[in-house]
Amino acid sequence: MTNIRLCYQTIEFGKIDIHLCTLRNRQEFHDPDGEAERFGINSSTWPIFGMLWPSGIVLANYISQFDTSAKRILEIGCGTAITSLLLNKRHDDITATDHHPEAGRFLDRNTDLNHDEKISFVRADWSGENTELGLFDLIIGSDLLYEDEHIELVGNFINRHAKQECEVVIVDPGRGRKNKLSKKMEGFGYTSSHFKPTDTDYLDKAFKGYILNFERST
């Protein structure tokens, strides 16, 4: 991590401040041992995990309004894990996952930066079983549907780790795949809704995406 340039910032959620270390820009790259390459992550996509994207900020602001105190929560494709850091600050039961080998190291760095307890992290491939993760009451994520194949992978991964009664919140920046994911989730017994977030003045630009909400009851 010493060979890449970093950026430090503070994100406010009401009275809670989250201090965040990210990559300075998308030109940063550091894979000297070829670890990311072995997982199929090439140089052009390597930095994506380490940037703070608008969808991630929207997710954190939306989830900040939830009563999550009694829920076991899973963030998938966490990247910089701003929502996980916020939930951890509130002492919620949060587990973060990402495919990128650097995501867990940045997560540890950022929990230290916020003087909080370590967050449980599992490097997870959506196509894998990851049985050690267990089941969750609330599953969250942002900007996950880059390719059509991700609809199947994300939907199946969520289903493997969702309790029978579960809520799922995905923020999508508007890549045109939300209806396909909804159809997939409805096949697992979820009701679905999509809506545009309101009051996004905390972003530099207008947010063109949607919050996708899926709920399944016993």
Q: What is the pLDDT of residues 109-137, one digit of tens each?
A: 999 999 999 999 999 988 877 778 999 99
pTM above 0.75, yes or no: yes
Strand partners, 16: 13
Over its C-alpha atoms, the chain yields an Rg (Å, rounded) of: 16
Residue 199, CA distances (Å) to 36, 105, 162, 178, 206 in order: 37, 32, 30, 21, 10
Q: In 63-150, at which residue ranges do the beta strands (DSSP E only) sit? A: 72-76, 93-98, 120-123, 136-142
What distance in Å separates the CA atoms of residue 99 and residue 102, rounded to the nearest whole number?
9
What pLDDT digit, counting tens, does each position of 8-44 carry? Answer: 999 999 999 999 999 999 888 787 777 777 877 777 7
Query: Within 10 Å of residue 173's Cβ, how many Cβ atoms?
Result: 16
